[in-house]
């Protein structure tokens, strides 16, 4: 069956649903609207209006496209329900009535577990699997909206319904999870955020959204509609495969996926086959995304221009320090601009101050006024990049785990009938995943080397998992012959040692780093624990979601053997 994606996050391209429905044949169109940060945003929405808590852009898309989807017999499956899937289902029915349509609308709920000792949490949602979605589709639903299911479940559910898999079809389920993981982030599978973007064709056009053709045995082909921008290649698919995966075992509510079993093959232009995926029973407990209100924050950026920027920074910091009463004050580093810069902007650098406190008072007017009052009495050229802003609340993300028996995975069918989805018949106890890089790594000794950027033939994709940063690295599928490619992979595995990462990423020098090897993909996955503090909403780091971390790592100079270049 052909399963497409039209959204990788809340705020993705609004016209993508119509593009996907008009661009080619589909059986199911999915949309992923949720992330850890999104749940916090939706939680804040509900504080203002309890009837909200869902992705409102999804409603706008259906207003435009519901009739077209029904006409083409394409099922719509989306996790846009967020914290209020029942409310979204009612809204979809209201929209349909306004359009003179009568679709069968079902929703999946039961993920909200704030009652399980999470009473003080703004949100606490267990990650549900795909069998609730499958039950809704099997009963005839045209539109299925869910709360916090895993992103891949949006593909697993339709595949289960279509192929008739059971909860014990582990290899098939694992294959569908991998296909779902590849297409869940939309155009990241077709060249978006791809470190090899210079090789992409049709970059002048919007990137096409991906399609997964999922077979009965769980294998799949990743493709896109003809005539759309971007490309589907071994590298673009690998980029998404290694995105935020952590170890070689990908733990989902329906199945545990052996990522080290995944094999890719470029069948033809814009068609990459995924096969060989092995699965086993899922973990015993369900993961929960918990967001708590952490306090209040504010920040300002000062512009330092020309000579003596370090002294200017030191002076203004000394002037502000006695006035800052926030519990946490963080200053950015100052980079000295180039000598004899030919524009004012290139002769300038930014000094950022971020403050956090349990109360809004120390980070509100007391903070901004202290800075503004220095405007005529501090370093020469004093200016800020933006006017002072009010304090804003921030959330703290953490992962928790609950017993499956405490979660009631429920489908509410179009006719109002409620169906409880049963738990898996078996589970895999928590255990250490295989594939951690051995130390020392058994590789040949270096020959004559050159100092070159790591990205000379290595791609990267990075992101966040709560307070941890995740970096996937893999050897590019360029024109190198097979022996050279294999030697490059062995070299990458050798270079990426847990103790050596601190040299390449000085910000991680004092942090724990896991290194996982994925030989079939020519890839290494790094997990840098604690780099992002308490998660994106609370982080004061320059890049709070670690989106650019992989590109920084690729720019770092390493010793590369002459024969590999």
Query: Is residue 444 scored above 90 in pLDDT?
Result: no
Q: 347-399: per-residue pLDDT in tens?
A: 999 999 999 999 999 999 999 999 999 999 999 999 999 999 999 999 999 99
Residue 477 burial by Cβ neighbours in a 10 Å radius (0-12, 13-18, 19+): middle
Task: State the pLDDT at residue 278.
Answer: 98
Q: 96-123: per-residue pLDDT in tens?
A: 999 999 999 999 999 999 999 898 899 9
**Helix axes 170-183 and 153-163, enclosed angle (nearest 10):** 140
> What are the tokens at 475?
């050897």
Q: Nearest 10 degrees: CA dihedral of 403, 407, 408, 410?
A: -120
Query: Is residue 188 scored above 90 in pLDDT?
Result: yes
Task: State the pLDDT at residue 119.
Answer: 81
User: What is the rounded average pLDDT for all residues in the chain?
Assistant: 96
pTM, full prediction:
0.94
Q: How many CA atoms lie within 13 A of 253 on its CB side?
A: 30
**Is 312 in contact with 202 (CB distance < 8 Å)?**
no
Q: In a 3-state reduction of DSSP, which class is residue 145?
A: strand
Sign of the CA dihedral with 10 first, then 12, 14, and 20 last: negative
Convert 45-76 into a string of H (helix), E (strand) and C (coil): HHHHCCCCCCCHHHHHHHHHHHHHHHHCCCEE
Query: Is residue 448 scored above 90 in pLDDT?
Result: no
Residue 322's pLDDT band (boundaries 50, 70, 90)?
very high
Q: 225-244: per-residue pLDDT in tens?
A: 999 999 999 999 999 999 99
Q: 56-111: per-residue pLDDT in tens?
A: 999 999 999 999 999 999 999 999 999 999 999 999 999 999 999 999 999 999 99
Give the mean model confidence (pLDDT) for residues 246-263. 97
Task: State the pLDDT at residue 204.
Answer: 87
Tell which residue, 145, 154, 34, has the closest CA to residue 90. Answer: 145
Task: State the pLDDT at residue 541.
Answer: 86
Tell which residue, 77, 11, 23, 81, has the closest CA to residue 52. Answer: 81
Q: In a 3-state reduction of DSSP, which class is residue 182?
A: helix
CA atoms of 67 and 414, how far apart (whole Å): 18
């Amino acid at each position: 069956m052909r399963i497409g994606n039209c959204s990788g996050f809340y705020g993705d391209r609004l016209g993508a649903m119509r593009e996907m429905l008009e661009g080619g044949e589909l059986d199911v169109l999915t949309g992923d609207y949720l992330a850890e940060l999104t749940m916090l945003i939706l939680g804040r929405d509900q504080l203002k209006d309890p009837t909200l808590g869902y992705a409102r852009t999804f409603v706008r898309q259906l207003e435009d496209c519901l009739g077209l989807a029904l006409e083409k017999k394409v099922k719509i499956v989306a996790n846009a329900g967020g914290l209020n899937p029942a409310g979204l289902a009612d809204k979809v029915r209201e929209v349909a009535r306004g359009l003179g349509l009568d679709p069968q609308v079902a929703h999946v709920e039961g993920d909200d577990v704030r009652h399980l000792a999470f009473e003080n949490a703004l949100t606490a949602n267990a990650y549900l699997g795909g069998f609730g979605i499958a039950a809704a589709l099997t009963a005839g639903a045209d539109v299925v909206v869910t709360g916090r299911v895993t992103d891949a479940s949006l593909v697993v559910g339709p595949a289960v319904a279509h192929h008739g898999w059971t909860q014990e079809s582990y290899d098939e389920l694992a294959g569908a999870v991998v296909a779902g993981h590849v297409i869940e982030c939309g155009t990241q599978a077709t060249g978006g955020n791809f470190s090899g973007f210079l090789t992409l064709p049709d970059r002048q056009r919007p990137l096409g959204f991906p399609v997964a053709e999922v077979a009965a045995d769980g294998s799949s082909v990743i493709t896109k509609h003809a005539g759309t921008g971007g490309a589907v290649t071994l590298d673009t698919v690998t980029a998404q495969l290694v995105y935020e995966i952590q170890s070689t075992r990908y733990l989902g509510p329906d199945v545990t996926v052996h990522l080290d079993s995944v094999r890719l093959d470029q069948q033809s232009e814009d068609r990459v086959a995924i096969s060989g995926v092995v699965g086993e029973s899922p973990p015993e407990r369900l993961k929960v995304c918990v967001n708590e209100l952490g306090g209040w924050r504010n920040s300002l950026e000062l512009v330092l221009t020309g000579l003596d920027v370090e002294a200017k920074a030191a002076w203004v910091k000394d002037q502000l320090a006695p006035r800052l009463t926030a519990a946490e004050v963080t200053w950015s580093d100052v980079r000295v601009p180039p000598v004899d810069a030919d524009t004012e902007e290139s002769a300038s650098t930014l000094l950022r101050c971020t403050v956090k406190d349990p109360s809004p008072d120390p980070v509100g007017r007391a903070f901004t006024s202290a800075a503004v009052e220095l405007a005529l009495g501090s370093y020469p050229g004093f200016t800020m990049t933006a006017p002072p802003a009010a304090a804003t609340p921030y959330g703290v993300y953490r992962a928790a785990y609950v017993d499956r028996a405490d979660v009631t995975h429920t489908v509410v069918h179009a006719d109002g009938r409620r169906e409880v989805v049963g738990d898996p018949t078996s589970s895999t106890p928590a255990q250490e995943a295989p594939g951690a890089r051995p130390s020392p790594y058994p590789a040949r000794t270096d020959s004559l080397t050159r100092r070159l950027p790591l990205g000379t033939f290595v791609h990267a994709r990075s992101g966040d998992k709560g307070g941890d940063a995740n970096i996937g690295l893999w050897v590019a599928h360029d024109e190198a012959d097979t022996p050279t490619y294999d030697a490059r992979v062995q070299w990458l595995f050798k270079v990426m040692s847990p103790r050596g990462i601190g040299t390449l990423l000085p910000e991680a020098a004092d942090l724990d780093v896991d290194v996982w090897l994925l030989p079939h993909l020519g890839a290494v996955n790094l997990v840098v624990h604690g780099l992002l503090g308490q998660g994106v909403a609370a982080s004061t780091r320059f890049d709070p979601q670690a989106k650019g971390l992989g590109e920084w790592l690729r720019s770092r100079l390493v010793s590369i053997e002459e024969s590999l270049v």
